[in-house]
Chains A and B, each alone.
Chain A
């Protein structure tokens, strides 16, 4: 049957099912294929905190959203155009997010009385007209998958498990994408199990074939490749990007990378990634707890490694005494906090930006550290490199803030040439003449003299240091001097970072100022409003401490400044305190990134409709 092909500029799809249904896998396969096809894209995995919540329940629903486009995009999309719902619970949980008249592809075999009850449906929504207005396409996914696997010696359960590949095949057909990348992946992944390999391939083909032959689908869609900056690309998540960034920094610095870490959601993937890079000389220690994670890193830093520790909010809280120790001992250390919903255990699998205060101020005493924040998954690479550069150059701990959304989300990443990476060659102190542990260079950095260097034996620690000699000192005047010197050192970094750039008019009525992972949503909103003729500007802070030198001046060029944050206004608070500028705050703490419509609404309310 001939089918129409309709060209679309962008599409947002969401796969949803039980946490055991393989939705994250389905989503990431669709993502990779879409990326290879040259679309710009952005993803948002959303999964429950339980690993395998009971099947069919509302709280066990796992989702993966992907926005892909033929033009430059910034977010995983506000509301999906298409929902693939593997069961009633998946439909129920996701329905409210969908666009009006969105397409719903539902596995009708899963809409039995048991699952309907678990999802708290009194009647079957596929039949009771409650979905009127949506384009509902019921597909007997389970049955068709079983039929496709006829003759294979697999249990019913094992056959059931292949239905996500059927759904994937169908979606590939619907969006005119090739099957090859997924087939290659299946071949590799299941090379040890011939039957499962065959089953998954058959399910994938069957799904594709179903789209082609059934009369339900009259149209298929195409999203053309995006016009990205020329270059070599790959798809990259924020956590992978941090791992690559640290390895790249170690390469540039010419010293080995050492990671001390403790498993914690959503940061563990950085530990997993780095544990694989043994042939880069990367040493990873999965420590007995968060505190040990940072302490082994401090030991490694003392003895000459590029040391890092990775964690999330609760872990950072545990590490803080040791962060203070690296402030006092003035050793380079990269601390990555992949923020999640808090306080306490909070929402481990949901995103938030509420650790800014913790990063800035969460230690005893006057304890300034450099604080950076990445703005997109790909930017996590650059900021991990930057965090390392600053740590090494200024002999200071640097906290890099990312978040669950950046960590698990992904986007096409333009692979940099090695020559484009910043210079950061480290030289250890070896000269005995004139050596003092706390004699500073022009950047207020003290010398890095590592064990094994003859003649430079010295002792450091958490007690206050005498200026220059580094001996223990209880002298009160010296303490005052050292406190101010440490603060001055961190502040001095402002001379080594880029100015805050303003997009759009350099002065005017309204500036939208964001930080960290809200970049995508803000950019998308501003782009849309600019194209509609609104007058507004945008800036994004990636350096939170110190802030770019021109920050105060930028603020003052605008009549109003709006600061959207996934917290209760932490950056807004700091800006008001620091620059005495009455910024307006837009906050949301729902464990999810901003939708650009939410930011748009606020902006319109500030500057009025047009």
Chain B
């Protein structure tokens, strides 16, 4: 496929190269617009020829995404995007394969494909648009909806316990796990760039507002006045500090995290938990992933953990190359006659 690695001729790619002329059909004000804009913004700088991008999606509002990216795109069926994308990437490791999906698509009907793509470490970049609701089917609770949520299908409140996507991804040893939000363009771009640079499955959970069916789900995290106290931005090698005045920190006592006050003089930044993106052990990232369920803890954004392991697509190709080298290129007639044969005269 070497011929296809050649870049498109001419000038450097721009945002415009990734925009399609089609009308975008998301509701005005939907968080999806921001995700699309950031992706179009970072794409020209990813060092990938335009024709080598493939966007694959499932079903749901988020899964319309490929129609709006002027690359190769495949709008699949509900839940199956990771499987379709796996096929694309394994067949053609030279391509840069991205998945656009939502909480219903990836975590409910597609849960099995999600965990297995991550387990295999297929070199896919997965953008999970998590709006905690079914949008396209008009407002049923999703696997990430909070317990007790009243929706059309749960008039008396949802009984289900929600999924924690980051914890699930950590559980199957996903090699790149990050979280960002629709309202923080810069941070989202950073996460997209980092995911693109990662070799292996990269999951970015994007907190995305569905202003029609679940408006304000993340307001406390995205609004300027509350954001500093409700979120913590993870940076490699930096202590976990948050708060309007950078006056709160997170300490780790054994396996137990605690929010500490840095203004009282009892603790300083040096006492806080220092984030290690490349931690060999998944334990600390797992603790971080559960902050969302812990009262008084900020919601972490950034890269939870990044590790290296062989990619599935790479190993499939490697095995073929190795065996072809040791056995020689296959000869069809030899294959036909590889069993006992006899001649009839």
Contact = CB atoms under 8 A, between A and B. Distances in A.
Interface string B270-290: 000000000000000000000
A151 interface: no
Given A234-B337, A296-B84, A457-B71, A305 B343 contact: no
Nearest to B329: A279
B340 to A, nearest CB: 6
Interface stretch (B34-42, B51-59, B201-209, B260-268): B51-59
A235 B112 contact: no
Contacts of B152: none
Given A248-B332, A303-B91, A321-B77, A234 B86 contact: no
Interface in A171-190: 181
B291 interface: no
A295 B54 contact: no
A91 interface: no
A225 B323 CA distance: 39
Given A300-B87, A451-B52, A235 B343 contact: no
A285 B92 contact: no
A304 B340 contact: no
B74 A299 contact: yes
Contacts of B340: 32, 35-36, 181, 234-235
Given A233-B344, A279-B323, A471-B22, A462 B87 contact: no
A292 B116 contact: yes
Interface size class of B (residues with CB under 8 A): 35 or more
A461 B66 CA distance: 10
Interface size class of A (residues with CB under 8 A): 35 or more
A418 to B, nearest CB: 6
B153 interface: no
Interface in B4-34: 4, 6, 8, 20, 22
Contact of B341 (A232, A300, A325): A232
Contacts of A325: 76-77
B185 interface: no
A418 B334 CA distance: 11
Nearest to B92: A303
Among A32, A295, A321, A472, the most chain B Cβ lie within 10 Å of the Cβ of: A295
B72 A457 contact: yes
A452 interface: yes
Given A457-B71, A472-B67, A300 B90 contact: yes
Given A278-B319, A415-B341, A300 B88 contact: yes
Contact of B339 (A235, A298, A416): A235
A295 B80 contact: yes
B95 A452 contact: yes
A247 B77 CA distance: 29
Given A295-B83, A456-B51, A38 B344 contact: yes
Contacts of A181: 340
Interface string A294-331: 01111111111101000000000000011001000100
Contacts of A228: 344
The 8 tightest CB contacts between A and B, nearest first, are: A299-B87, A461-B75, A452-B4, A296-B87, A280-B330, A295-B83, A459-B73, A300-B91
Given A285-B87, A459-B74, 9 more contacts: A36-B342, A234-B341, A279-B323, A291-B83, A299-B88, A304-B92, A415-B341, A452-B94, A462-B77
23 contacts: A38-B344, A228-B344, A232-B344, A234-B336, A247-B330, A247-B332, A258-B90, A278-B323, A288-B116, A292-B112, A295-B80, A295-B83, A296-B86, A297-B87, A302-B74, A452-B51, A452-B94, A454-B51, A457-B70, A457-B73, A459-B72, A461-B73, A461-B76
